[in-house]
Every structure is written in C-alpha cells, then in structure tokens.
Structure 1
C-alpha cells in the first residue's frame, strides 16, 4: 500500500483487552537479569543525510566510520521521502497478545516529528532499529517501526549520534517474548591493548553513560532510576531511547493496551543516590491503531511490553 496506511481495516483482538499499563507475562521462559546494562564512554556527533540517502545504510555505515560496535541515535530535524514501516498490532491469542501489522509505505515527503534508533549487529552484520513519527502534507500525523528502504527527504535529515566506545549492541531473538531485541555487551577493541588503556587519560576511561536492555514487566521510570543509581550517577538524562510498554499511561491520558512503541523517550533523574530521587520522563508513542500520542509519563504506571533500549547519560 502506498500514500498512507490505516486506510484499510486492521484485524481486531480475539481476546479480552486490559487496561493500559497492565503488565504482560509472555509465553516463553522468563529471562534474568531483568535489566542488562553496560557502562560506557560516549561521544556525541551530528551527521546530515542528504535527499535520497538510505537511512538504514547511513546509520549502519556510521559503525565503521567511528570504529565502534554500538550507536544510539536521535533524529533532530528534516524530512523523509519514502517510508516503509509497520506498527503494533494485536497478536493471535491471549498468550501472545502483541504483534505487528503488515508493511505500509508512504511515498510523499513528510516532516520529521521524532525518531530514535539503536545501531549494532544482528548475525554479525550491521543492523538498525528505528522508531519514528512524521507529519504529511495534509497535516496528518503518523508513525511506526521503520523498515529498510526508508529514504531521507528533500531537506535531508539531521541525526544526533551517541557513539558508544565500550558496548557492542547485538540483536537476537528473545526466548521469553519470541521477538528480536537488542542487548548490550561489553566491548573492548582488540587493537587497544592493556598498556594503552592503562595509560589513557582518566577523563577518557571513566564511563559517562549506560546503555541498557530492560525486559518485560519492568516499570520504565523505576528502571531508569535503577540504572542511574547502579552507575553511581547523581543526576542523569535519558535520550535516544526506544522500545515498548503495555499501552501508555500519561499524566493527562492513555494509549491502549497491549503494546505501544516509543518514537523517543526523554527526561531527567535528579538526586538519584538520595532517599528522595526525582524521575521525570516524557515520550511519544504509536499504538495499535497507528495513532500517535505524547505527554509526561505517569509515575510507576508503564511496564515494558517486549523490550526497551534505554540510554542514560550522566549530567555533570
């Protein structure tokens, strides 16, 4: 289908729906630990993708450009020209309530709203995971889980890269959920010997960020606080993060169960090591109808649905 999705009726659920924010227990064997984290040094870069650039290929190429095995990315501005995507859908039964739609395509220039990406490897080949939202020429807002073949539009795309020196991001099929998901692994380049690492300046060897994989059922804001505390950070920011929760519960509304995908998650943690920490998160999500919602996330109300690729940076 081209020039707009959601113009045909999508299958409805065959099982009772639950309230947004109700956790899902998946059919597969529960995996531990529930939060997998790798502290890492991070450097920030900005790249510009010209009209017609293959977005996936450009981000995957950046791994080699910066000689790393993991990048988190946040799209800043610009347009898409051609978009291939899916969005969350109802699964086949109550034990498997989450799935994806068939592939949609949009062939007209659209204005970027938000997009985040995880860039790493699948089967030892560079691989990219992108969620995005956009506005078309008629002012209609759509979004979804982008697929290869998506191209930068007439004004190009500007992308903020968070290049991870110490983490290899690997996408594998998760036995708990049956979906593919990225997880971080400690990475040390073979060319960097022990003597070279030991002699490096201290400001280049101390991790200033953490990349984490958060498993189903973990509350998103509590996961952010746990990651921040475990890293020893007093204050931190959340950027370039994407994943799914079981619907969404905002302070001023909801998006429906069983799954929404975040095009971005942003926020701050302050006084993390105290008895009174403060976590503030905002985000934008795509639901099972392809609708886009955004707002401030309600506290302790948003369990992860399938996985969350969480990126936290220390605030100095």
Structure 2
C-alpha cells in the first residue's frame, strides 16, 4: 500500500464495504499531477544473495554499488528464511478505510513466488520498499509488505536490478493519503531539460488518443519511465498514458508494485478497500496508434492475507494509495 509500516490491530471493518474496484477519495488534500513520471536510461544487473543475507541491507547497498539514486527490482528465484511482514487491513473508519495488520514473522525456508522492490532514499538515507509472496514448507501460500529483518534462505535469492541513471526515487509522507510513498525526481544538471522531461509524462492521455507533443530528447536517454501513480487513477490507463507520453510504440511493465482498491481480474476479484501487488507484468502495443492495446497480469495480497492472481480487467482497477510503476521500451 505504502512504503511506511503503519499498522493496525482492528479485526474487521467498522464501516460499509464497497465493491472491488470502487475508487477511494482520501481525507487529505488532493495532489497534482496525478501521474508523476521521469524518463530515464536504465541498465539491468543481477544481484545474487547468499543464504542468511539481509535482503533490505543488500538492496539498499546496491545504490552505492551502482552509484545510483533509484533502482526498481524484480526477484527472479530463490528462497527466503526469516520473513517479517504486514499485509493490508481495514482502516479505522470510512474516511481512512485502509491500513496494515500487526507485524508477522515466519521462519524456515520459504520458496519465492514473486517479489518486487523500489530502492531509493528516505530522509536522505537508503530506503527500500518490498512486496513479496512465497510458499511455506507446508505448502501454504502467503504474501505481504516485507519489513527489515527479512533474510535469504538456503538457496539464496536472485534479483534483477533496473538501475535508473536519470531518476532519484524519494520516499516521503503523502499529504493526500497520510501514507509514505515513493516519487521519482529527475536527475539532470540542466533544470530546463529536467522540467521538459517530467512535464512530457506527468498527465494521462485518453485511451486511444494520440500522444501529445513532447520535447525531443537524446536518443540514448528515454528507454524507460519510472512513475508514481496517485489514488483513483486506473492502472491500465496510467500504463498507456506513460507509454504514449514517452513516445514508446511498444513497452513492457515489470518491477512494479503498489495497491489498488481490491482487484478485478477477468476471472474473479479480491475484496475492497485495498490489495497490494507483489507482481505486475504486461505489455503495451500500438501505443502511438489509434488502437493501442494494454495487457496486464498481476498477483495481489488482500485484507485476509490471501494471495490471488490473474489477468487484470481493463478500466476496473483504480490505485488505492500509490503505485510505483516501471515501464520499459521494447525495441
């Protein structure tokens, strides 16, 4: 949901529940723009963690290892050992319907299913936000928002790092939602160029509409876009808008995480008011044409701690608190 660790011990909702995919208007002042994007060069690396490695410390250390201020990450395979985590929960009232459970801790080898991470800074110190799912030794599937203290298991972990050359990822408290959230900031010595980059991708286009003119950028710069998507924005429309406004004809979605108001899949749903994505993948084709196509699949953890997955229904999944979106050009 957010990258803070706010928790609640409320056992259930104290307010009427709504249908999955119903947007939430948060109590704080509405923030603009609704999509904040920074085009960036991206270099892919692999991080291997041995048994017992501290997952958070290793990812945070990777910033210095790659002289970077922002990294999006996707876990490929391996095992966890100790896992500290929370998952979405009902908030205290109808004006604040989303929160987190108390912290849980599990021990023993657990096989990775999916995990995604955003690595940046908070209060000028390295900071990491991870959502993950796993299968316990007894076959139980679990998932949630990981907390520091999580360790790699006997098989270790292999993680794909997407190192961002032109973006700084900063976590701060969002006045609209009251939760912490990452947002991208351009890294560019020329303020005019930086402003051109961010303004070219900070507003959504209507599906099917041609992208609006953008400031020309050097060909070696925008092979990816990192974005923060605010509450209420439909996830598939945000993905399309980012690709269109970046000038990408085709693009892929990976290493992304965040929350929607429940989840609406083509074959089922997960309950309102919030689920957290451990994994989001998909493609955009024909983004600059009159008939663009977006296809997204995802895995989520809901307020019962249940893990669900499937193909996302279009125009049905609004962001709940925030979405940290990574879109990379194909070709």
Check whether TM > 0.5.
Answer: yes
Question: How far did residue 139 of structure 1 move?
Answer: 0.6
SS in 1 for 2:137: coil
SS in 2 for 1:58: helix
* Structure 1 residue 314 corresponds to structure 2 residue 329: yes
For the aligned residue pairs, the C-alpha RMSD in angstroms reads: 1.4
Question: How far did residue 205 of structure 1 move?
Answer: 3.4
* Structure 1 residue 80 corresponds to structure 2 residue 80: yes
* Alpha-carbon distance between aligned partners in 2 of 1:290 and 1:132, rounded to the nearest angstrom: 12
* Alpha-carbon distance between aligned partners in 1 of 2:317 and 2:300, rounded to the nearest angstrom: 12
Residue-by-residue CA offset, 1:33-57 (whole Å, 9 max, x unaligned): 0000000000000111000000000
Query: Does the Cα contact within 8 Å between 1:174 and 1:181 map onto a contact in 2?
Result: yes
Question: How far did residue 189 of structure 1 move?
Answer: 7.5
Query: Does the Cα contact within 8 Å between 2:262 and 2:272 map onto a contact in 1?
Result: yes
Equivalent runs, 1:194-233 vs 2, <5 Å = 205-233=220-248
Question: How far did residue 236 of structure 1 move?
Answer: 0.1
Query: Does the Cα contact within 8 Å between 2:22 and 2:272 map onto a contact in 1?
Result: yes
Please give the TM-score of this superposition, normalised by the length of structure 1.
0.92
Query: Does the Cα contact within 8 Å between 2:117 and 2:128 map onto a contact in 1?
Result: yes
Question: How far did residue 275 of structure 1 move?
Answer: 1.1
* Alpha-carbon distance between aligned partners in 2 of 1:206 and 1:260, rounded to the nearest angstrom: 34
2:22 corresponding residue in structure 1 = 22
1:302 corresponding residue in structure 2 = 317
1:261 corresponding residue in structure 2 = 276
Query: Does the Cα contact within 8 Å between 1:56 and 1:149 map onto a contact in 2?
Result: yes
Instruction: Select the residue among 267, 276, 281 that pairs with 2:296.
Output: 281
Instruction: Select the residue among 286, 309, 316 that pairs with 1:271.
Output: 286
1:143 corresponding residue in structure 2 = 143
* Structure 1 residue 247 corresponds to structure 2 residue 247: no
Question: How far did residue 108 of structure 1 move?
Answer: 1.1
* Alpha-carbon distance between aligned partners in 2 of 1:149 and 1:302, rounded to the nearest angstrom: 32
Query: Does the Cα contact within 8 Å between 1:41 and 1:204 map onto a contact in 2?
Result: no
Please give the TM-score of this superposition, normalised by the length of structure 2.
0.88
* Alpha-carbon distance between aligned partners in 2 of 1:86 and 1:239, rounded to the nearest angstrom: 23
User: How many residues are matched?
Assistant: 297
SS in 1 for 2:82: strand
* Alpha-carbon distance between aligned partners in 1 of 2:105 and 2:176, rounded to the nearest angstrom: 30
Query: Does the Cα contact within 8 Å between 2:10 and 2:92 map onto a contact in 1?
Result: no
* Alpha-carbon distance between aligned partners in 1 of 2:112 and 2:279, rounded to the nearest angstrom: 12
1:291 corresponding residue in structure 2 = 306
2:171 corresponding residue in structure 1 = 171
SS in 1 for 2:138: coil
* Structure 1 residue 119 corresponds to structure 2 residue 86: no
2:62 corresponding residue in structure 1 = 62
1:130 corresponding residue in structure 2 = 130
Question: How far did residue 163 of structure 1 move?
Answer: 0.3
2:252 corresponding residue in structure 1 = 237
* Alpha-carbon distance between aligned partners in 1 of 2:254 and 2:79, rounded to the nearest angstrom: 21
2:49 corresponding residue in structure 1 = 49
Q: Which runs of 4+ in 1 moved over 3 A?
A: 202-205
Question: How far did residue 206 of structure 1 move?
Answer: 2.1
Query: Does the Cα contact within 8 Å between 2:254 and 2:327 map onto a contact in 1?
Result: yes
* Structure 1 residue 110 corresponds to structure 2 residue 125: no
Unpaired runs of at least 5, structure 2 = 1-8, 191-216
